[in-house]
Structure 1
Amino acid sequence: MKIDSYKGIELYAKRFKNDKGSEYQTIYQHTMDLLNNMEKLFEEYKEEIEEGCKRLQIDYQKLKYLLRLAIIYHDLGKANSKFQQKIRDKTKVHEVPQVKGLSKEVPHNFISIAFVDLEDEIEKGNITCDDFQNLLFAIAFSHDRSFDFSSQYFEKYMNDDVSKYIENQSLKPLLELLPSVPDRDKVVESSNYTYRVINQLRELMFKDSYDLSDKKVIFRIFLKGLLHRLDHSSSAGISAEEAKINNFPEKVEVYLKSKCSFTGFKDFQRKAMEFSEKNVILFAPTGSGKTEFGLNWAFKSKLIYTLPIRVSINAMYERLAKIFGEDKVGILHSDSMIYLLEKYLNLERENQELEALFDSVDLAKNLSLPIIVTTGDQIFTSALKWPGFEKVYSLFLYSKIIIDEPQSYSPESLAIIIKTLEEIINLNGKFCLMSATINPLILKHLGDCAKYVQAYSDEELKKRYSHIISIKELSILDCIEEIVEYAKQKNVLVICNTVKRSQEVYQVIKENLKRFEEIPVELLHSRFLEGQKRQKEEIVISNQRKNGIVISTQLVEASLDIDYDILFTELASADSLLQRMGRVYRKRPYNELRPNVIILSKGPSGVGKIYQKEIVDRTEVFLKKFDGNKITEYDKKELNEYVYDIGALSGTNFISKFKKAYELLELGFRADRKIEAQKIFRDVVTISGIPREIFDKNIEKINEALKKINSRSIKSIEKLELISSIRKYTVTAPAYFFAKGGASCYDKDLGLYILDCEYDDQLGLIPPKGLEQSDIW
């Protein structure tokens, strides 16, 4: 086919499926969207980005210039017949001629760099050779694609196909934006050179090339990361950055005044604004107002707020949305789409507001909102350098991050968090780590680069107490009658170390309560059907009963604003126990003389599998001297420091696991994919599925919903509503949980499994016989 025949072919970059069919966006349109999005991003955070570049000694104007070039070049490689045929639907495929002898597509990101010709720019001194290499790197790896073609095939692909599109009319206005318009003959002649360059860039990517003390590396991370963010957000039809919040403290103050008799920020909350340009480690007793400190510290920066557990993330999202507005706060975790959908449906929102839900989810996924509340695995896995990790790291040129409740992470996850924070510092990012239990490992690794802040002085901490503890050499199952007796007049919280033990406690209490039907009992853990779990979470968080019993697991420890009258808990690690105490008399003075925290030390479940035995033993040794006495906030601080003393733990499993993970990261360990990095961070692989008996009972409803979901005519919102209707029957558990019970895939597209495990409406998922349920939640 003659070259002239290629000039009139419309060159597409994207195809969007909607209720009416397919909609197309040209390469030119998509590129202009990126350029416009770039201008909005740099306009919104101009002051912060300029200041960040200045601190890092990075040329701000050069970063903008090279990013603009990367945007223009990055999709030019889509001007090839294989891609254009692939992107079209069946009615349009005939528009694109195919070249004989070209059996497979060369990824467009590799083709794009063949268009780059900046010799004049280098000669004029506008860019350096390092700048040129960084630009090529950003373009070549703007996507993670396989490289499985020979130099001969690449040369033929460029000569016989790609070169014919260079004079295409729809590409012309884009090429004219470049400092040097690509020449067809030069692109063909340089194909062999381009192939060698791609190989050199791949070597650069795979070797240990992420030394963040090197300004060239930092520049490359920002350039590539910003390109990722602009590409992803523009493809979703949203902005890379929404309008920022100019004054966090002002918004927080207005909210607090409307909510209660607010007389002003506490001293330490007010000082947060003084520390807004510093990294901060905040020690604050549970219930003292560390969230307000963190928000004041953020001041006016883009904020990433991390928490370890989904239920606490949902609660924090609700809280921050009330303060700043739903249009300013995003929520990001594995179930955030369904969570928001169910929230909208429960509130009976109008359809047009459901349309806005899609934008809200996309804005959160692309980290475009001024506040993102998220799980740690969405951010901290960047230290494992999965392909595209730069998207997250580029945020910290102008953003801050809060790490709330870090004690809930495993030693391996803690090592990843610390490593990430060390790297974020090198990228101009600021962090605020907040907890009532600061692990000494955090101070050891981050103490020199962060301001340590206590909400109250040691003298004040010695005067503050809300708990009198009792340690009993009994099992929690030995205390059922005592729990029931308290529950006749008080709200009792019972926390077990494993789901299995919580189920056992619930069964015995229900048996015991046959004489006291008026006492309500609620069991909450992670192994309930999603529909049930949501209802249970709301009951536990609202806590509107005058008396009753709630039995739970670590699920209720982190950042839930709940306040019960008395706690019965299995012996666990110091940090977990302190968090559990924080759910009792959270914001009230305790004036009684009898204990309101009862710790049961006989045969606690999960020790050795969930909690390190040496940590639990040290916790018990320290706490025994407080048996029957009040424990002040200062005592709690000393408990944590004693239990996690690095010297005393030097030969333990805890330190060994931490060191091994940290040293692997120091040596440059990398994950092949983001999902792999998230599994490493979570240290568990889970399966979400429908228990067999639940499936059998609801098979007609489920199959009818699946039939509609797979229908081509269904609208997106209807599809999500149907997915939500199926999801209420699902439960999540670790993959090893089904080693004996089994799990079979029922719908591959939805990733829907049938779980061959017993399910009980009152107890939740029952593990197969012979398998100890050792997971914590």
Structure 2
Amino acid sequence: MTFYAKSETKETIREHTDRLLYNLELLKTSYGHKLVHFDERMWELLHLAVEYHDVGKANTVFQNKIRHAIRENIFETDCDVDVPHNYLSVGMIPFSSLNLTKEESRLLIHAVGYHHERDKLPDKEMIRHVFETDIKNQLNKISEHMKLPMTEKLSYRFVDRLLKRYTIHDGEQFWKYVLLKGILHRLDHAASAHIPVEMDIHKSVGLSVNRYMERQGFKKNELQQFAEANQKKNVIAIAQTGMGKTEAALLWIGDDKAFFTLPLRVSINAIYERIREKMKYDAVGLLHSTSVHYLAEKGEENWEVVKQQSQQLSMKLLMTTIDQILKFPFYYRGFEKELATMANAKIVIDEIQAYDPKIAAMLIKALEMIHQVGGQFMIMTATLPTLYLDELKKRNIIAETDHAFGEFIDVRQHRHRIQLHCREITDGIKDMITFAQTSQVLVIVNTVRRAIELYKELSENEQNISVYLLHSQFTQEDRQRLERRIKEFNDNKEKGIWITTQLVEASIDIDFDYLFTEMSTLDSLFQRLGRCYRKRILNSEKCNVHIFTENISGIPNVYNEHLVNESIKLLQPYHGQILDERAKVEMVKQLYERKRLIGTTFLQEFEAALDMFDNLDPYGMNKKEAQQKLRDIQNIQVMPRRIYDQIVDMFDTYTACRNFKERLRLRMEIEGKTVSVNRFVAEKYVSERLPKPFDYIYIIDVQYDFDREQLRGKGILLDTPLSTFY
């Protein structure tokens, strides 16, 4: 008799199970040696879990659903209850003949019973009903189909054991369960997607980097040599901008499977492209909230394959954001898959200081969990807050024997001489215009509102200086146009002024002659300095960085006032002086010492988040809820009314379209016309949602200002409702 597992492919349960077994052997032979907590007995338990994980699908209610979908005759049955197959599978395992310890039985029960996470907990009476009215009579047929022994005596005590879930209080057994269940998830998902659980096992990104550097005639610097020499250790590397940190991280990864995380999608896209095109390494995937759009837009012919392999974490190297793979400290239902993947991989966390204190706390907890399952990590950053380093030591995440720490700072090359102005940034307009007549001037402020104010004033200059504005409140497609334009402007050495927000701190590779900036916290400020004289040495007595310290925008909503004030104090001795790279690193260390942070909201948020993660009950939320907690859920996607009116026919075209790739193109075009804005600021202007499936996008009745020919404008104007213009 045939028992189906999938309707899409008419795949039988046995065929699907064999796919898992193939992937199990692939994982074991490729990375089994990396799974330090997986002994031979654990591999045997995993094999059993694979063999029995889907046998519950043989129940007639499930089979009839598939047979209806594939238009085959359905079976008659006295069973009228639909119970999730994963619970039923446990009841068919012949525990009495498997010679398992009590704890091994529990591991197997829970791995199989929860290989799908359900909102509905197992109900003993419903399970009993299905077994007595249906499965009991089919056990021999199921055994024959699966070529496996089935239970000879029906017992429902396993339901009581299922209801008592593992928690972190189970100690070592909890981590065994995480690995067993997490790997089963991986095998199952890869088999269902018909892809290998691990791709390109023998391809080495370290080898590709070495060949790339040889072709370019580059010699490895101290940082890169340090990273390559410490491939078997956890690494913390503090290095200034321009030291080749990306190459260093890839050399540390070497032959291993790895995940490379950065705070900004733009930066991730750029490094992904560089690895593929310049380093000629094709075993790299891309995974973030808009990665499909990026891949399709770039003309990646196999974007669907890259997407699927990336989502299944099969790629040898995956460029990604932390919300995709490091949210397991929330212990959401199904978290084990991502965490178990870390057990045979390395992870790079680039620029940890760029995250807010709550996210940084989650990252530290994630590193603790990765350390627990035997994974490796590298923290690579220009500046590392002392608070974070102290917490890593306190939790024994880093120890003398298994980690390497290095600082790589070139104090011989000076790039910045700073001038502090006890005025607000608008008082610098005259100097901005003067410098812009012969140079490239970058202006960075803390809020979109302040950026627009400056743009209005500077645009009216009598010298006819070119002035551009770039911030987050343009539509996605217009923002991309502006990001391309600022690079082009910089590369062509055009003269003029660009006004921006902290958007450019780490996401855009530019090198301006002068920087005028509002004060922020030191870590953010030093990122801004990296956009001025980024690739040059300063051989002048003239200050190329001007910092304004009065009437600063964005306090306290963007930057903590206490930290900004402390940052100003630390900068004072450098007024009119060279600010070298060593001084930057030391100042950030001082700024984020615990004693300096006592009483601040920064420290309170950091400690409260750590305490929450340390005391979370597993399985309290689902994956989507964890993702929302990580992302800025105060923001919503909006489309200005004027733009909606121009493309209203596109929604009917999308609905009528049956071609998948054309639908994707239309969807990308529609989403490209949206802006992410603060929910509370925008809600009074929001009028309605877009039609499904775009009902997560709101129409907003405010002015949108942008000239696509001139690439000039102010973006979405949340304080200017449309009625003002009618």
In the superposition, the TM-score normalised over structure 1's length comes to 0.86
| Contact 1:467 1:596 (C-alpha < 8 Å) held by counterparts | yes
Instruction: State how many pairs are aligned.
Output: 705
Indicate the residue corresponding to 1:766 in structure 2: 717
Amino acid at match of 2:124: S
Amino acid at match of 2:630: F
How do residues 370-409 of structure 1 correspond to structure 2 at under 5 angstroms? 370-409=316-355
How do residues 351-362 of structure 1 correspond to structure 2 at under 5 angstroms? 353=301, 356-362=302-308
Amino acid at match of 2:492: R
Amino acid at match of 2:588: N
Deviation at 1:172, TM superposition (A): 4.8
How do residues 219-368 of structure 1 correspond to structure 2 at under 5 angstroms? 219-244=176-201, 247-258=204-215, 260-262=216-218, 264-325=219-280, 327-344=282-299, 353=301, 356-368=302-314
Taking a change above 3 Å as real, the CA distance of residues 52 and 68 of structure 1, as seen in their structure-2 partners, is closer
- 1:624 pairs with 569, 572, 577, which one? 572
Deviation at 1:493, TM superposition (A): 1.9
CA deviation digits over 1:718-742, x for unaligned, max 9? Answer: 2212212222222222333432222
Taking a change above 3 Å as real, the CA distance of residues 320 and 559 of structure 1, as seen in their structure-2 partners, is farther
Indicate the residue corresponding to 2:131 in structure 1: 158
**Residue 446 (1) aligns with residue 392 (2):** yes
Whole-Å separation in 2 of the counterparts to 1:99 and 1:522: 71
SS in structure 1 of the partner of residue 127 of structure 2: helix
| Contact 2:469 2:500 (C-alpha < 8 Å) held by counterparts | yes
**Residue 66 (1) aligns with residue 45 (2):** yes
SS in structure 2 of the partner of residue 471 of structure 1: strand
| Contact 1:437 1:637 (C-alpha < 8 Å) held by counterparts | yes
Indicate the residue corresponding to 1:773 in structure 2: none
| Contact 1:469 1:627 (C-alpha < 8 Å) held by counterparts | yes
Deviation at 1:308, TM superposition (A): 1.0
Indicate the residue corresponding to 1:202 in structure 2: 163
Whole-Å separation in 2 of the counterparts to 1:210 and 1:722: 50
Whole-Å separation in 2 of the counterparts to 1:114 and 1:745: 47
- 1:528 pairs with 465, 474, 479, which one? 474
Whole-Å separation in 2 of the counterparts to 1:326 and 1:24: 36
Taking a change above 3 Å as real, the CA distance of residues 494 and 426 of structure 1, as seen in their structure-2 partners, is same
Indicate the residue corresponding to 1:575 in structure 2: 523
Whole-Å separation in 1 of the counterparts to 2:370 and 2:29: 23
CA deviation digits over 1:402-429, x for unaligned, max 9? Answer: 1101111111111111111112111111
Amino acid at match of 1:114: G
SS in structure 2 of the partner of residue 516 of structure 1: coil
**Residue 492 (1) aligns with residue 460 (2):** no
| Contact 1:303 1:372 (C-alpha < 8 Å) held by counterparts | yes
Amino acid at match of 2:316: P
Amino acid at match of 1:436: A
Whole-Å separation in 1 of the counterparts to 2:202 and 2:598: 45
Deviation at 1:73, TM superposition (A): 1.1
Indicate the residue corresponding to 2:556 in structure 1: 608
Indicate the residue corresponding to 2:625 in structure 1: 676
Indicate the residue corresponding to 1:140 in structure 2: 113
| Contact 1:286 1:436 (C-alpha < 8 Å) held by counterparts | yes
**Residue 175 (1) aligns with residue 153 (2):** no
| Contact 2:644 2:699 (C-alpha < 8 Å) held by counterparts | no
Taking a change above 3 Å as real, the CA distance of residues 33 and 615 of structure 1, as seen in their structure-2 partners, is same
| Contact 1:619 1:643 (C-alpha < 8 Å) held by counterparts | yes
Deviation at 1:331, TM superposition (A): 1.1
- 1:35 pairs with 21, 24, 34, which one? 21
Indicate the residue corresponding to 1:749 in structure 2: 693
- 1:110 pairs with 82, 87, 109, which one? 87
Whole-Å separation in 2 of the counterparts to 1:608 and 1:571: 13
CA deviation digits over 1:677-696, x for unaligned, max 9? Answer: 22322353432242222111
Whole-Å separation in 2 of the counterparts to 1:444 and 1:768: 44
| Contact 2:79 2:133 (C-alpha < 8 Å) held by counterparts | no
**Residue 544 (1) aligns with residue 471 (2):** no
- 1:596 pairs with 544, 561, 576, which one? 544
Indicate the residue corresponding to 1:643 in structure 2: 591
Indicate the residue corresponding to 2:710 in structure 1: none
- 2:647 pairs with 698, 702, 717, which one? 698
| Contact 2:4 2:63 (C-alpha < 8 Å) held by counterparts | yes
| Contact 2:10 2:70 (C-alpha < 8 Å) held by counterparts | no
SS in structure 2 of the partner of residue 272 of structure 1: helix
| Contact 1:246 1:299 (C-alpha < 8 Å) held by counterparts | no
CA deviation digits over 1:594-619, x for unaligned, max 9? Answer: 11111111212111111111110000
Deviation at 1:492, TM superposition (A): 2.1
Deviation at 1:319, TM superposition (A): 1.8
Taking a change above 3 Å as real, the CA distance of residues 201 and 155 of structure 1, as seen in their structure-2 partners, is closer
Indicate the residue corresponding to 2:683 in structure 1: 739
Deviation at 1:110, TM superposition (A): 0.8
Whole-Å separation in 2 of the counterparts to 1:203 and 1:470: 63
Whole-Å separation in 1 of the counterparts to 2:291 and 2:68: 31
SS in structure 1 of the partner of residue 434 of structure 2: helix
| Contact 1:471 1:627 (C-alpha < 8 Å) held by counterparts | yes
| Contact 1:738 1:755 (C-alpha < 8 Å) held by counterparts | no
| Contact 1:13 1:78 (C-alpha < 8 Å) held by counterparts | yes
| Contact 1:70 1:138 (C-alpha < 8 Å) held by counterparts | yes
Q: Mean alpha-carbon deviation: is it higher for 366-375 or for 684-693?
A: 684-693
Amino acid at match of 1:27: I
Structure 1 residue ranges without an equivalent (≥5): 1-6, 17-22, 709-713, 771-777
Whole-Å separation in 1 of the counterparts to 2:694 and 2:661: 16
SS in structure 2 of the partner of residue 138 of structure 1: helix
Whole-Å separation in 2 of the counterparts to 1:701 and 1:305: 37
Deviation at 1:707, TM superposition (A): 2.8
Whole-Å separation in 2 of the counterparts to 1:723 and 1:242: 30
| Contact 2:483 2:508 (C-alpha < 8 Å) held by counterparts | no
SS in structure 2 of the partner of residue 82 of structure 1: helix
Amino acid at match of 2:168: S
SS in structure 2 of the partner of residue 166 of structure 1: helix
**Residue 26 (1) aligns with residue 12 (2):** yes
Deviation at 1:768, TM superposition (A): 4.4
Whole-Å separation in 2 of the counterparts to 1:325 and 1:231: 31
**Residue 422 (1) aligns with residue 368 (2):** yes
Percent sequence identity over aligned pairs: 33
**Residue 14 (1) aligns with residue 1 (2):** no
CA deviation digits over 1:271-316, x for unaligned, max 9? Answer: 2122111111111112222222211111211111111111112112
Amino acid at match of 2:161: Q
Q: Mean alpha-carbon deviation: is it higher for 501-510 or for 28-37?
A: 501-510
Amino acid at match of 2:700: D
Taking a change above 3 Å as real, the CA distance of residues 428 and 150 of structure 1, as seen in their structure-2 partners, is closer
- 1:85 pairs with 64, 80, 105, which one? 64
Whole-Å separation in 1 of the counterparts to 2:237 and 2:507: 15
Amino acid at match of 1:434: M
Q: Mean alpha-carbon deviation: is it higher for 319-328 or for 658-667?
A: 319-328
**Residue 725 (1) aligns with residue 669 (2):** yes
CA deviation digits over 1:454-513, x for unaligned, max 9? Answer: 3436xx53x34210111112222232332232223322222221222222222322222x
| Contact 1:398 1:429 (C-alpha < 8 Å) held by counterparts | yes
Amino acid at match of 1:638: E
Taking a change above 3 Å as real, the CA distance of residues 257 and 508 of structure 1, as seen in their structure-2 partners, is farther
CA deviation digits over 1:198-229, x for unaligned, max 9? Answer: 34323224xx3366xx3322221111111111
| Contact 2:208 2:281 (C-alpha < 8 Å) held by counterparts | no
Indicate the residue corresponding to 2:416 in structure 1: 467
CA deviation digits over 1:723-774, x for unaligned, max 9? Answer: 122222222223334322225332333444232242222222222469xxxx
| Contact 2:52 2:112 (C-alpha < 8 Å) held by counterparts | yes
SS in structure 1 of the partner of residue 506 of structure 2: coil
| Contact 2:115 2:181 (C-alpha < 8 Å) held by counterparts | yes
